[in-house]
Amino acid sequence: MFRDRREAGDRLADRLTGLDEIRGREATVLGIPRGGVVVADAVAERLAAPLDVVIPRKLGAPGNAELAIGAVAPGVSVLDERMVRALGVPDSYVKREVARAEGEIERRQRRYRAGLPSLELEGRTAVVVDDGVATGSTAVVALRWARARNAAAVVLGVPVAPALTARQLAHEADEVVALETPDLFHTVGQWYAHFGQVSDEEVIRILERRSSVAS
């Protein structure tokens, strides 16, 4: 159990600092909004690394937005073909859902970055951070997005993830650091004493503060 996202980030940073992919290398921390940015803020501070965001969005199933049939990030998409076939999801629905997700990603990028480009990752270690992982669909596209931007190594850091999901994500990253990997898992929030909603405004404040520190 973590007290809050900040404490989770501090504990996660303790583990990340010892990784070969990070020690002695230039790293960039990428928080997944919204809650993941609070965790990533603590990690970036400890690693003395710049902080940016990667913005994936889940593709929800028809009639059940919480059930993922895939996910997208800027220029990257992953579709769970087995789930799509099992649910009989038509192509027209998938196209509409992808368009909706891409529109939300664009909105958030404009708001969070205020027109500034994302940080360069080429030749650096990209440390993708979230406040927890359930199915792993958004983590997968976030990792692939970082890889596509020529990061030298890609690391996923999360306070909690189901054991099976953590093992599956190990195929997508050079290293996966999950502090807790329970076999019985319901929601990310159950592992936090305080798991309040994080606003866009808080994400913007964190990014602005980290940007001023870096400059």
Tens digits of per-residue pLDDT, 169-198? 999 999 999 999 999 999 999 999 999 999
How far is 171 from 112, CA to CA, in rounded Å? 30
Please work out, in degrees rounded to the nearest 5, the angle formed at the alpha carbon of residue 134 by the alpha carbons of 6 and 208: 35
Q: So where are the chain's domains?
A: 5-56+120-214, 58-112
Residue ranges of E strands in the chain: 27-31, 51-53, 57-61, 64-73, 76-79, 125-129, 153-160, 175-180
| pLDDT of 215 | 55
pLDDT digits (tens, 9 = 90+) for 52-92: 999 999 999 999 988 889 999 999 999 999 999 999 999 99
58-112 folds as: Ybab; Chain: A; (3.30.1310)
What's the mean pLDDT when you consider all of the chain? 94
* pLDDT above 70 for 36: yes
Determine whether domain 5-56+120-214 maps to CATH 3.30.300.30: no
pLDDT at residue number 214: 62
pLDDT of residue 113: 86
pLDDT of residue 117: 84
Tell me if the pTM is above 0.85.
yes
| CA–CA gap between residue 207 and residue 197 (Å, rounded) | 17
